[in-house]
Amino acid sequence: MPSAQRREAPRGQAIAERAARVIPGGVNSSTRYIGEPYAFTGADGAYVTDADGRRYLDYHAAFGAILLGHNAPVVNDAVRAALGGLDLVGIGVTEPEVELAERIVDIIPSAESMIATMSGSEATAQAIRLARAATGRELIVKFQGGFHGWHDAVARNVISAPDKAYGRDPLSEGILAQAIDATLIAEFNDLGSVAELFDRHPERVAAVILEPIPHNVGALLPTQEFVEGLRALTRERGAVLIFDEVITGFRHALGGYQQVVGVTPDLTTFGKGMANGFPIGGVAGRRELMERFNGRTGDVLLAGTFNGNPVGCAAALATIGHLQANPDFYTRTHALGARMRDGLAAIAAELGIEATVAGFGGVFALYFAKAPVLGYRDLMRNNDAAYVAFHRGMTERGFLMLPMALKRNHVSGAHTEQEIDATLEAAREVLAGLRPTLGD
């Protein structure tokens, strides 16, 4: 079980201070710095250990990349076997690349063909470029709150402050104004907001890209009408529909959330959990679109020395193979997720806290806002300070939850009912402590 209350963190803090001298901000991705715990030295199953020896039950799961549990033997064994054989050649093709593509085509409804990348950001960049090439159009539509990677085409309007939401809210300096302006912003679960953009920019929208569940702002569940409406609208207007399943893919169902909702996009991007923490991603979709990547006959550049590398392919094949051989993985993690969500809802009601518990499968989020929470406009009612305080309080008690507003939590294949119940006991304590600060 997790370690108890916080103690001094001399070693972890020292590592963080060393990092700050040689790494900008001390971390290699801007959202990784959270203060204590500062640094980590071990991971196993559902747990991670920090540099000062404290053990945490991990619900962060590397932003969802850990699906089966840390250091899953079935994955690590496959990686060790790959390391003992073929390493990176960089020309031609290898059998693991072919096997992975065959597996993806077999299990993802939208997949008739696949390319491999090294990350989800690369996958969405390739998908957007392909959509623009295929349609001859320049504009794309994304949804306020959706995150699709770090590249210029989508690096805007994620967790926006109320005064910047739906307006011009780039994530970074250094992005060309034209790149920002070529991305239009709609409201999730509001089909009319998408149709309005098509009407305002006739025959200029190349693609609509969405997380089918926007997990980068917790867990906004789509209505069936909305997803089906997007499919019909994009077909009618000649635009490409892209499901960014980098988070939802493999986590919620073997075929992704598109399998759950029964709506097939033109292109699907994926990564994260498909290799249980090893670096790999990909794009799959309709063959006539994907053939634009064909280096002999196509016109869309596909390049990357590490694309389809043996280690990533081995990890992905092992992870997907485990899921195929153990379909009860989904039954079990969905049940654990429901146990957590039901428990949090009961505790909030018991304490008289205005909150909405959201999620799907093994993902859960506790919004400090009154229901319903269907789109980003609803999230602007969230008490962000309370959200962060809840996650911080849980982390201090040994239950690792990223202390940042709107970030979701993940149940992996390594969690147990007993650990869910222990988490709920800690949540009751944290929420009771927060109650006096929340007002009536």
Around 424, how many Cα atoms within 13 Å sit in the side-chain half-sphere? Answer: 21
Q: What is the distance, to the nearest Å, from the Cα of residue 93 to the centroid of all Cα atoms in its chain?
A: 29
* Residue 84, pLDDT above cutoff 90: no
* Residue 190, pLDDT above cutoff 70: yes
Strand residues in 45-165 grouped as ranges (E)? 47-50, 55-58, 113-117, 139-143
Confidence of residue 138 (pLDDT cuts 50, 70, 90): very high
Please report, as a single letter, which amino acid is at residue 195.
A
- Look up residue 291 and give its DSSP letter: G
Mean pLDDT value across residues 241-268 = 98
Q: Which of 160, 271, 146, 299 is CA-nearest to residue 214?
A: 146
* Residue 69, pLDDT above cutoff 80: yes
Among 9-23, 206-220, 256-270, which stretch is predicted with the lowest mean pLDDT?
Answer: 9-23
267-306 residues labelled b (16+ CB within 10 A) or e (exposed): bbbbbbbbbbbbbbbbbbbbeebbebbeeeeeebebebeb
Q: Which of 267, 190, 259 is CA-nearest to residue 230?
A: 190
Token digits for 419? 């650990």
Q: Which of 340, 324, 343 is CA-nearest to residue 416?
A: 340
Q: How far is CA 136 from CA 33, 239, 323, in A?
A: 41, 10, 39
Mean pLDDT value across residues 427-437 = 94
Provide the pLDDT for residue 406.
96
Confidence of residue 440 (pLDDT cuts 50, 70, 90): low
Around 17, how many Cα atoms within 13 Å sit in the side-chain half-sphere? Answer: 6
Provide the pLDDT for residue 437.
87
Strands of the sheet with 240-244, listed across from one edge: 113-117, 281-285, 267-270, 240-244, 205-210, 139-143, 183-186
- What's the mean pLDDT when you consider all of the chain? 96
Are 215 and 248 a contacting pair, CB within 8 Å?
yes
Provide the pLDDT for residue 253.
97
Domains of the chain: 10-71+327-437 (3.90.1150.10), 73-325 (3.40.640.10)
* Residue 197, pLDDT above cutoff 90: yes
Confidence of residue 209 (pLDDT cuts 50, 70, 90): very high
Mean pLDDT value across residues 139-158 = 96
What is the C-alpha to C-alpha distance for residues 274 and 323, in angstroms, rounded to an integer? 10
The burial class, CB within 10 Å (0-12 / 13-18 / 19+), for 316 is buried
pLDDT in tens, 329-346: 999 999 999 999 999 999
pLDDT in tens, 366-412: 999 999 999 999 999 999 999 999 999 999 999 999 999 999 999 99
Provide the pLDDT for residue 185.
98
**Phi then psi dihedrals of residue 112, to 5 deg:** -110, -15
Token digits for 275? 């290799």
Residue with token string 């072919």? 98
Confidence of residue 130 (pLDDT cuts 50, 70, 90): very high
Q: What is the DSSP string of 134-181?
A: HHT--EEEEETT----SSTTT-BSSS--TTTTTS--BSSTT--HHHHH
Q: What is the distance, to the nearest Å, from the Cα of residue 7 to the centroid of all Cα atoms in its chain?
A: 31
Residue 295 three-state SS? coil
Provide the pLDDT for residue 7.
61
pLDDT in tens, 39-67: 999 999 999 999 999 999 999 999 999 99
